[in-house]
Chains A and B, each alone.
Chain A
Amino acid sequence: MLVARASVSTKIESVKSSIGNTITISPAGSRGFEGGGEPLTSEQLAGVAKVDHVTSVTQTLSDRLTSTNTNLVSAIEAGSLGNRQAGNNGVGFQAPPADMPIRNETSTSGTGSSTQITRTFTPPVTITGASVLSTTTYGGDSITYTSGEAIDVSKDEDVAVVGKALAEKNNLSVGSTFTAYGKMITVKGVYDTGNTFSNNGVIMSLSSLQRLSGQTGQVTSATATVDSIDNIDSATTAIETALGDTADVTNNQESAKQAVEPLESVKTISTFSLIGAVIAGAVIILLTMVMIVRERRREIGVYKAIGASNIRIMFQFISEALTLTVLAMIVGLIIGVAAANPLTKVLVNNSSTSTTQTVQGGPGGARFVRGVGGNALSSARSVQADVGLDIVAYGVGAAALIAVLGSALPALMISKVRPAEVMRAE
């Protein structure tokens, strides 16, 4: 419990600090690729960078490449779920490869009795233009380059890096080219995020994408980083004032809260269990000590008869109890080290499942899960139960407290043993 509690509180701190100090800026009313709202402009965001406490502003422009403007083929198979959703809002999806019929039309013309349309498609390729390359740009936590290297996002060139899955699907390697927006784009590197969905992307510099897609000066989202979590609310208000109605400004405090809430409850549970365990331990030691003292009354009488002080005898018995608790503590520590991680995981996972589900419920599936909340949650769930020195110190403290509490009454009993009792026959 001690271990679980400590690792959870550490995690709460780190989750708060890692996701707490960024502010997300998106065009007012927009909802990802489902559209809505006017894009933000680079000039607007230049103003944001001047707001107090904002240390940096990352600007991104996202677009979708479809068969009309690229020769790239998505590496993602839509699957039946995707097909069904395409039927609902088949906007912007790629046309199927030529050898596949667009429509499987089983219609009895003339009679008009029934018409079944089955659409077959693959999802689009997401292209991102970024002013800074961050994990958010890639859409993954651990970025590795399988070949080549990252592009210089400060330059406006017809170069890009592509995800591993997309590269394999289209036989792309460093130096090869593909077309997008009618231009030849050269591949500079192939990256791996460890996530198939993110590995289906293309990343360019912001200026290049703005130029190629004809969206000069436009930005679909921006992230402002604030120097300290304490200034986040004031910075958010300042940005809102600066941008007015044109943008939705949100910070991650809410998602952080959401992510941390189940952890807080684990922390509370662990704290109560810890207090409970200390009390239970003290009661057990107390009862054991009372039994031992009663059983050894005569021995205590003998000690007194041959010149031992009460304190000396108490010390003797309490040190015996301490030896016992220390032994128990060592065993407990060994078990704790072995079981802490699995136990903490079970506790944390159980309590955060409900929250995860509410976050994951968005339309379109996985892509939306990996939003800020999702990241925070997955990071919050990867609590690592490390047994550090401080935990050992807490454990020793708890054990000492148990021993002292459990010894108080027996000590009193010891002082009450009449030395004359040694004279009585057994």
Chain B
Amino acid sequence: MLKVSNLVKQFNGASGKVTAVSDISFEVPEGQFASIIGKSGSGKSTLLSLLGALDKPTSGKIEVGGHDVTKMHDHRLIKYRGKEIGFVFQNYNLVPNLTAIENVMLPMEFAHVSPNERKRRAVELLDQVGITADKQKRKPSRLSGGEQQRVAIARALSNKPSLILADEPTGNLDSQTGKMIFDLLHDLAKSENTTIVAVTHDLSIAGKTDVTFTLKDGSLV
């Protein structure tokens, strides 16, 4: 379960303070798929980076599985990011000089999973997202955008996170591939009972999620 209360994030821009997220509160029950929509600059990415502990809020509370993320020390935050959160980005963000399988194994390496188990789980996940054995050995530059995003989803799932955060995961893909990626995320979330928060511009995708939040100028509407 994800619970956000009175979350505020301000940036010190060149022209004074910018409030990217202003006083947001919401809840997403465990295993549910939530979507966030809103115009460009409305604070969607900022909200996600706060949920994923990539950035610290100015004020407010984020609870994941009963733990207050905002009270965690740096050391715990690193563990939290590695084990409880899976990220999927619009531009995939795979490590360019690692192969697909190595990319999927990387978070497990940081979480000190044994090499054999890393390999087994990575192959299993890549098979699930439909990356064939020969493509598993390729570097990202030799994979299509859709394939890269599948690898990124497999990587996000590798440490069995309780929360997956996806920032416009279909934004760089054509609508058909985007739909396939969305279905993949949806199915995996259901089978592993993982909570998902996904930012999207695609209203047809948003319409199929369990709950949709709309952001406007940093506030929920």
B-binding residues in A (CB < 8 A): 298-299, 302-309, 312, 418-420, 422-426
Contact between chains at A306 and B45 (CB < 8 Å): no
Measured between C-beta atoms, what is the minimum distance from B198 to chain A in Å?
14
Query: What residue of chain A has the Cβ atom nearest to residue B168's Cβ?
Result: A425
Contact between chains at A307 and B110 (CB < 8 Å): yes
Given that A302-B95, A307-B107 are known contacts, is A420 also in contact with B87, CB under 8 Å in the complex? no
In the bound complex, how far is the Cα of B94 from the Cα of A302, in angstroms? 8
In the bound complex, how far is the Cα of B96 from the Cα of A426, in angstroms? 14
Contact between chains at A307 and B89 (CB < 8 Å): no
Contact between chains at B159 and A423 (CB < 8 Å): no
Residues of B within 8 A of A424 (CB): 45
Total A-B pairs in contact (CB under 8 Å)? Answer: 64
In the bound complex, how far is the Cα of B81 from the Cα of A308, in angstroms? 9
Contact between chains at A305 and B54 (CB < 8 Å): yes
Given that A420-B54, A420-B55, A423-B49 are known contacts, is A306 also in contact with B81, CB under 8 Å in the complex? yes
Residues of A within 8 A of B87 (CB): 305-306, 422
- Contact flags (1/0) for B153-176 with A, using CB distance below 8 Å? 001000100000001000000000
In the bound complex, how far is the Cα of B93 from the Cα of A302, in angstroms? 7
Query: What residue of chain B has the Cβ atom nearest to residue A302's Cβ?
Result: B93
In the bound complex, how far is the Cα of B107 from the Cα of A309, in angstroms? 11
Residues of A within 8 A of B159 (CB): 307
Beyond the given A303-B95, A306-B110, could you list 15 further A-B residue pairs with CB under 8 A, ordered by the A residue number?
Answer: A303-B110, A304-B78, A305-B87, A306-B82, A306-B87, A306-B106, A308-B78, A308-B82, A309-B75, A309-B110, A419-B49, A422-B89, A423-B45, A423-B48, A423-B49
What are 21 A-B pairs at a CB distance below 8 A?
A302-B94, A302-B95, A303-B106, A305-B81, A305-B93, A306-B106, A307-B107, A307-B159, A308-B78, A309-B75, A309-B78, A309-B110, A418-B55, A420-B49, A420-B54, A422-B54, A422-B87, A423-B54, A423-B89, A423-B167, A426-B91
Q: B111 an interface residue at 8 Å Cβ cutoff?
A: yes
Residues of B within 8 A of A306 (CB): 81-82, 87, 106-107, 110, 155
Residues of B within 8 A of A422 (CB): 54, 87, 89, 93
Measured between C-beta atoms, what is the minimum distance from B75 to chain A in Å?
8
In B55-74, the 8 Å CB interface with A consists of: 55
Given that A299-B95, A423-B48 are known contacts, is A307 also in contact with B54, CB under 8 Å in the complex? no
Measured between C-beta atoms, what is the minimum distance from B50 to chain A in Å?
9
Residues of B within 8 A of A419 (CB): 49, 54-55, 81
In the bound complex, how far is the Cα of B94 from the Cα of A420, in angstroms? 16
Measured between C-beta atoms, what is the minimum distance from A417 to chain B in Å?
11
Given that A306-B82, A307-B107 are known contacts, is A425 also in contact with B49, CB under 8 Å in the complex? no
Q: B79 an interface residue at 8 Å Cβ cutoff?
A: yes
Residues of B within 8 A of A304 (CB): 54, 78, 81
Contact between chains at A305 and B52 (CB < 8 Å): yes
- Contact flags (1/0) for B15-43 with A, using CB distance below 8 Å? 00000000000000000000000000000
Residues of A within 8 A of B167 (CB): 423
Contact between chains at A308 and B110 (CB < 8 Å): yes
Contact of B78 among A307, A420, A423 (CB under 8 A): A307
List 4 A-B pairs, minimum CB-CB distance, nearest first. A307-B82, A420-B55, A420-B54, A419-B54
Q: B90 an interface residue at 8 Å Cβ cutoff?
A: yes
In B73-128, the 8 Å CB interface with A consists of: 75, 78-79, 81-83, 87, 89-91, 93-96, 106-107, 110-111
Residues of A within 8 A of B91 (CB): 425-426
Measured between C-beta atoms, what is the minimum distance from B188 to chain A in Å?
17
Query: What residue of chain B has the Cβ atom nearest to residue A423's Cβ?
Result: B45
In the bound complex, how far is the Cα of B54 from the Cα of A302, in angstroms? 10
Residues of B within 8 A of A309 (CB): 75, 78, 110
Query: What residue of chain A has the Cβ atom nearest to residue B87's Cβ?
Result: A305
Residues of B within 8 A of A302 (CB): 93-95
Contact between chains at B81 and A298 (CB < 8 Å): no
In the bound complex, how far is the Cα of B42 from the Cα of A50, in angstroms? 103
Residues of A within 8 A of B107 (CB): 306-307
In the bound complex, how far is the Cα of B89 from the Cα of A419, in angstroms? 13
Residues of B within 8 A of A299 (CB): 95-96
Given that A302-B93, A423-B48 are known contacts, is A307 also in contact with B55, CB under 8 Å in the complex? no
In the bound complex, how far is the Cα of B107 from the Cα of A426, in angstroms? 23
In the bound complex, how far is the Cα of B52 from the Cα of A303, in angstroms? 14
Query: What residue of chain B has the Cβ atom nearest to residue A422's Cβ?
Result: B93
Measured between C-beta atoms, what is the minimum distance from B103 to chain A in Å?
9
In the bound complex, how far is the Cα of B82 from the Cα of A134, in angstroms? 79
Query: What residue of chain B has the Cβ atom nearest to residue A313's Cβ?
Result: B110
Residues of A within 8 A of B106 (CB): 303, 306
In the bound complex, how far is the Cα of B94 from the Cα of A160, in angstroms? 90
Contact of B79 among A298, A303, A307, A418 (CB under 8 A): A307
Residues of A within 8 A of B78 (CB): 304, 307-309
Residues of A within 8 A of B82 (CB): 306-308
Residues of A within 8 A of B83 (CB): 307
